Structure formats: C-alpha cells, structure tokens
Amino acid sequence: MSAKKITVLYVDDELNNLISFKAVFRIKYNVLTAISGEDAIKLLKTNTVSVIITDQRMPKMTGVEFLESILDEHPDPIRILLTGYADMNAVVDAINKGKVFQYLTKPWNEEELDMAIVRANDVYEKKISEKELTNKLALTNDQLEFLLRQKLLS
C-alpha cells in the first residue's frame, strides 16, 4: 500500500452504519460517507475515489442502481456491494450492471472489509497504471508515426 491514504466512499441510508464505518476506518483511510446515492454522486463530482462501498437496499436508488448510474463518468473506482439480505438477483445485477468487484454481507466484519478494501485498491492502482501506460504508448506511437512521415517526405 502506498503512503497516500486510500479514499473510500461508503454509501448507506442508515446513519449509524455511516458513523460506525467512519469510526473504524478513518485513521487508515480517507473516508467519505453519503446517506444516499444522490449524495454520493455529488461527492464524486469533487473527489477522486479509489473504492466505493455501497449498501444494496436503500430508498429511491438501490446500490446497484447507484453503481450503474456512475459507470460512464466514474469507471475507475472499484466497487463493493454490501447487503443484509441474501438476494441472489441483487448479486447477479451487481456483477452484470454495476461492475461490482466484491459482494459482502451485513453486518460487515471489520477484518474482512478491510482486506476487501486493500484488494480493491490494488486493482484500482493497477487499472490507473495501465491507463497511464496506454496513454504514454499512444503518444509515443503518434510521435513515431510523425517522424516516419517526416522521413518519408524528405
């Protein structure tokens, strides 16, 4: 894990869960909390987040609906879905629609959730690194094509 703190966004409609999560993880991670999908979307506009953890069952917008709604604008954060209900349809939707990295049950186990955050951040860092390398490669390719054209024209 790098020296920079991992930024984690935790979304849950239960205030006690938000408070508990922040109390447990605020020292190790940069924790952002939102009480709804709508509030989380607002936070994502002004913060770079590595890992998003969301409850599935929330009013107005489920966790999967929230994750699906942010895919176009925020494809990079790694997603973890929490639910207190064994709902197989939610799991399938989470994987297929919300691109969920891991599915955990509530109440969450601190150690299990911590390990999931670390693994998710590792995937996030690799994803960002690959994007940067791909961009550098594309730039180098463009430069080589330019030089080749110059050589052919001279």
> Distance (Å, rounded) from C-alpha 78 to C-alpha 95?
12
Q: What angle do CA 30, 35, 36 make, to 5 degrees?
A: 115
Question: Residue 64 above 80 pLDDT?
Answer: yes
Instruction: Determine the pLDDT at residue 113.
Output: 96
More confident residue, 43 or 152: 43
> Distance (Å, rounded) from C-alpha 13 to C-alpha 99?
21
Percent of the chain with pLDDT over 90: 68
> Distance (Å, rounded) from C-alpha 114 to C-alpha 42?
25
Residues 132-142: tens digit of each pLDDT: 999 999 999 88
Residue 18 has, within 13 A of its CA and on its CB side, a CA count of 14
Question: Residue 83 above 90 pLDDT?
Answer: no
- Name residue, tokens 């297929």: 96
DSSP for residue 28: T
Q: Which residues contact 25 (CB under 8 A, 6 or more apart)?
A: 8, 31, 114, 117
- Prediction pTM value: 0.84
What confidence category does residue 102 fall into, taking pLDDT thresholds of 50, 70 and 90? confident
Residues 3-49: tens digit of each pLDDT: 689 999 999 999 999 999 999 999 999 999 999 999 999 999 999 99
Q: What is the mean pLDDT of residues 113-132?
A: 95
Say which CATH superfamily domain 7-125 falls into.
Answer: Response regulator (3.40.50.2300)
